Amino acid sequence: MTNRVTPDIDKIALLRSSWLANFPDDIIAEAAAAGSLRAVKDGTLLHARGAACDGFYTIASGSVRFSRTTADGYATTIAVLEAPNWFGELSIFDGLPRTHDGRASGPTVVLFHAKSDFKRLLAKHPIIYERFARMLSLRLRATFDLVEEAAIAPLAQRLARRLLELAQFEPSAMNAATTSRGREVPLTQEELGHLLGKSRQSIAKLLRTWEQAGLVQTKYGRVSIKKADELTRLAYPERISLPRFKVRLDARPSATSVPPSKEPT
pLDDT digits (tens, 9 = 90+) for 43-89: 999 999 999 999 999 999 999 999 888 777 777 888 888 888 899 99
**pLDDT for the residue 91:** 94
Mean pLDDT of 9-26: 95
List CB contacts of 176: < 8 A, sequence separation 6 or more: 135, 138, 139, 142
Residue 19: burial class (beta carbons within 10 Å; 0-12, 13-18, 19+):
buried
- Cα dihedral 40→42→46→47 (10° resolution): -170
Q: What percent of the chain has pLDDT over 70?
A: 82
Mean pLDDT of 113-140: 92
Compute the mean pLDDT over every residue in the chain, rounded to the nearest whole number: 82
Identity at 115, one-letter amino acid code: K
Q: How is residue 205 annotated by DSSP?
A: H
Is the pLDDT confidence value at 4 over 90?
no
Is the pLDDT confidence value at 251 over 70?
no
- Closest Cα partner for 100 from 64, 129, 142, 144? 64
| pLDDT band of 3, cuts 50, 70, 90 | low
**pLDDT for the residue 247:** 36
Check: CB of residue 168 under 8 Å from CB of residue 177.
yes
pTM value is: 0.72
Q: Is the peptide bond before 126 cis (omega within 30 degrees of 0)?
A: no
Identity at 148, one-letter amino acid code: E
Check: CB of residue 222 under 8 Å from CB of residue 185.
yes
Q: Domains in the chain, ordered, with CATH? A: 2-125 (2.60.120.10), 155-245 (1.10.10.10)
Is the pLDDT confidence value at 193 over 80?
yes
Give 16 or 236, the one with higher predicted confidence: 16
Per this entry, what is the length of the chain?
265
Q: What angle do CA 96, 98, 101 make, to 5 degrees?
A: 170
| pLDDT band of 218, cuts 50, 70, 90 | very high
**pLDDT for the residue 223:** 92
| pLDDT band of 261, cuts 50, 70, 90 | very low
Check: CB of residue 47 under 8 Å from CB of residue 88.
yes
Mean pLDDT of 24-49: 96
